[in-house]
Amino acid sequence: MYNYGDPFEEEQWQPPLWAPPPQNFAPFAVDELPAVDELNNPAVQQQQPLHHGIVVSLRTPDTWNNLNAVGNEMEVATNGRLMDPKLEYDLAGLDPTKTYSIHVYFERMNRNFMTYEDGVWNEEFVDVNGVDPMRNVPERTNAISLGIASGSYWSFRGIHSKYLKIFNPPRRCLGASSQVREQDAARILRNEQTMINVRTMCRYVPVIEIYEFVGAHNFLCHTAIFDETKFVAVSSYRNKNLKELKKNGFFYISANTNGTRPTQRRRSDNVPRGKNLVKEIERLDTLTKECDGLIQKDSSEEEEVKRKEYCEKYGDFSKVREDGQKFVIKLQQLHNVARERIVQ
């Protein structure tokens, strides 16, 4: 039995340092604390990735499958170049009341240097003065944020990398000064804020990451990778078939920002797009073909009668053909001026 003195005395409010531990005063033994159940503990679950049945799908799978069958390539430049075609995805399964951020980066798929021979991309180990050129190429590029919004916004709009650019940093010779190298390093860091840094002659596949905001923290809740979106970064197209496909005969469907109606990319030619201009050009083209056909044919009696009737109606053949061609050129020039004003 321990005596602490009179409890009403002011000096006896605090127990002395030699007081026994509290469990010695307990009339029963104190049980040990149970082990922490990491599987059912909410505090532990909060640190784990969240999965809520999120589904990510390509908006234009046929386009990417066709390009993948040919061997897709993406042109890059030191100042950045837009991806062609754009990365577009549809989202489902997001909580409309929560906030999500979406990021995109590329994963390198090749281990060795890639070469293009006989219409096929192959991996080949290259030894440059005893050094592997792939030693400094990271397996994962820098990530770019595509925005932060609610789940309802992402579900309605989807993922659209309309302004996403890829760039290739310049390669300086060994004799470059330290000042030039510092300027290049600063430029690369500045470009990586808005563009993805890739290396030419490497194959990449885009990766989509979805983060969910929980309080002041964000946690990875979904990752999406589509093998058909892989491509080889090049300074200029190696595959001639792919080049012609993208330049002349390739049309792909891309979605507007509101996600309601698809639009179609047109060829980069000078043909007027207005309905009235197109009809006028077709009429003039038909007129000039008729003139050329009558001039080239033999001068028989029936053709001579047709020529006289044509002259009385339209005038001289050569003059009509020349005026028609000038009018077509004038219409094209007016259309180009109007298109430049719209862009400005």
User: 222-255 pLDDT, tens per residue?
Assistant: 999 999 999 999 988 888 888 887 775 444 433 3
For residue 33, tell me if it sits in a domain. no
Out of 22-26, 142-146, 260-264, least confident range: 260-264
Q: What is the mean pLDDT of residues 179-204?
A: 84
Q: What percent of the chain has pLDDT over 70?
A: 53
For residue 29, tell me if it sits in a domain. no
CATH number at residue 112: 2.60.40.820
Specify whether 101 is located in the same domain as 237. yes
Cα–Cα distance list, 139 to 108, 118, 199 (Å): 5, 27, 11
Helix, coil or strand: residue 204: strand
Task: Single out the residue in 231, 264, 297 at which a domain terminates.
Answer: 264
For residue 50, tell me if it sits in a domain. no
**Between residues 192 and 38, the one the model is more confident about:** 192
Specify whether 123 is located in the same domain as 206. yes
Specify whether 120 is located in the same domain as 224. yes
For residue 15, tell me if it sits in a domain. no
Specify whether 312 is located in the same domain as 165. no
The reply to whether the predicted model has a pTM over 0.85 is no
Q: Tokens 């999965």 label which residue?
A: 51
Specify whether 100 is located in the same domain as 222. yes
- Cβ burial, residue 178 (10 Å; 0-12/13-18/19+): exposed
**Of the ranges 63-72, 120-129, 303-312, which is most confident?**
63-72
Residue 293 scores a pLDDT above 70:
no
Specify whether 97 is located in the same domain as 121. yes
Q: What is the mean pLDDT of residues 257-285?
A: 50
Specify whether 241 is located in the same domain as 159. yes
For residue 46, tell me if it sits in a domain. no
Per the structure, the count of domains in the chain is 2
Specify whether 116 is located in the same domain as 78. yes
Residue 271 scores a pLDDT above 60:
no
Question: How far is it, in rounded angstroms, from Cα 259 to Cα 257?
Answer: 5
- The pLDDT score that the predictor gives to residue 313 is 61
Specify whether 109 is located in the same domain as 141. yes
Residue 51 scores a pLDDT above 70:
no
- The pLDDT score that the predictor gives to residue 296 is 54
Task: Single out the residue in 202, 237, 264 at which a domain terminates.
Answer: 264
Specify whether 117 is located in the same domain as 249. yes
Helix, coil or strand: residue 88: strand
- Main-chain dihedrals φ then ψ at residue 339, nearest 5 degrees: -65, -40
**Of the ranges 44-48, 318-322, 330-334, which is most confident?**
330-334
Mark out the alpha helices in the chain (DSSP H runs): 42-45, 61-70, 151-157, 178-191, 240-247, 275-296, 301-314, 317-343
- The pLDDT score that the predictor gives to residue 272 is 45
Domain extent for 306? 275-343
Specify whether 202 is located in the same domain as 330. no
For residue 45, tell me if it sits in a domain. no
Question: How far is it, in rounded angstroms, from Cα 186 to Cα 179?
Answer: 11
- Cβ burial, residue 10 (10 Å; 0-12/13-18/19+): exposed
Q: What is the mean pLDDT of residues 268-279?
A: 52
For residue 12, tell me if it sits in a domain. no
Q: What is the mean pLDDT of residues 262-269?
A: 44
**Between residues 253 and 134, the one the model is more confident about:** 134
For residue 30, tell me if it sits in a domain. no
Specify whether 219 is located in the same domain as 304. no
Question: How far is it, in rounded angstroms, from Cα 223 to Cα 220?
Answer: 8
The secondary structure element, H or E, covering residue 219 is strand 217-225
Task: Single out the residue in 201, 235, 264 at which a domain terminates.
Answer: 264
Query: Tens of pLDDT along 5-39?
Result: 555 555 555 555 554 555 444 444 545 545 544 44
Helix, coil or strand: residue 171: coil
| Distance in Å from the first CA to the final CA of the chain | 95
